[in-house]
């Protein structure tokens, strides 16, 4: 890579980091070509962008960013891949699912909404995070539940009440 190509790559990487508030760092070294292709297909299906990066170029892109990414510098060793996503928990679930059949990728770190998660011990917790859409749907379901109960009670009470009125009307005749 020429110096100009490196600078262009750093600019593209910096732009991607600025546009995505969620990204994961993982090590996919040791995967065969077939396994790597399988991982990339899985990422594509889940709308996760997977890119192998050189640590020095990634560090320069992180340094250019307005946010302070110094906490991630220690994990920039060995093979590094960056996974960009809109939904914070998808890459963690993807890594766990892929590791059921393979020993890689290795989780290094994640940056989710201005919070750092460094180390393998966070993978389970990250995979169990609820996405924004999941949280919203749960809140809506909780809000609808009391209204549904009231409506069903009124409907059942209404039919009982009409039955009582009908019975009383028949008695008076």
**pLDDT tens, residue by residue, 16-40:** 888 888 899 999 888 889 989 999 9
Looking at residue 172, its pLDDT comes to 58
**What is the average pLDDT across 139-156?**
69
Report the candidate in 80, 16, 89 with the shortest Cα–Cα distance to residue 46.
89
Q: In DSSP terms, which residues pair with 116 in a beta bridge?
A: 111
Question: Is the Cβ–Cβ distance between 21 and 113 less than 8 Å?
Answer: yes
Report the candidate in 94, 97, 93, 103 with the shortest Cα–Cα distance to residue 125.
93
């Amino acid at each position: 890579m020429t110096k100009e190509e490196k600078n262009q790559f750093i600019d593209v990487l910096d732009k991607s980091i600025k546009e995505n508030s969620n990204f994961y760092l993982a090590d996919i070294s040791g995967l065969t070509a077939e396994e790597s292709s399988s991982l990339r297909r899985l990422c594509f299906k889940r709308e996760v962008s997977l890119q192998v990066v050189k640590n020095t170029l990634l560090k320069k892109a992180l340094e250019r960013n307005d946010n302070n990414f110094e906490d991630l510098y220690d994990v920039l060793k060995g093979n590094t891949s960056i996974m960009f996503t809109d939904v914070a928990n998808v890459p963690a679930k993807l890594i766990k699912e892929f590791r059921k059949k393979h020993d890689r990728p290795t989780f290094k770190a994640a940056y989710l909404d201005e919070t750092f998660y460094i180390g393998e011990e966070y993978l389970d917790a990250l995979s169990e995070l609820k996405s924004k859409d999941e949280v919203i749907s749960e809140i809506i379901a909780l809000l609808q539940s009391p209204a549904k109960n009231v409506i069903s009670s009124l409907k059942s009470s209404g039919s009982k009440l009409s039955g009582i009125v009908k019975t009383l009307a028949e008695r008076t005749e």
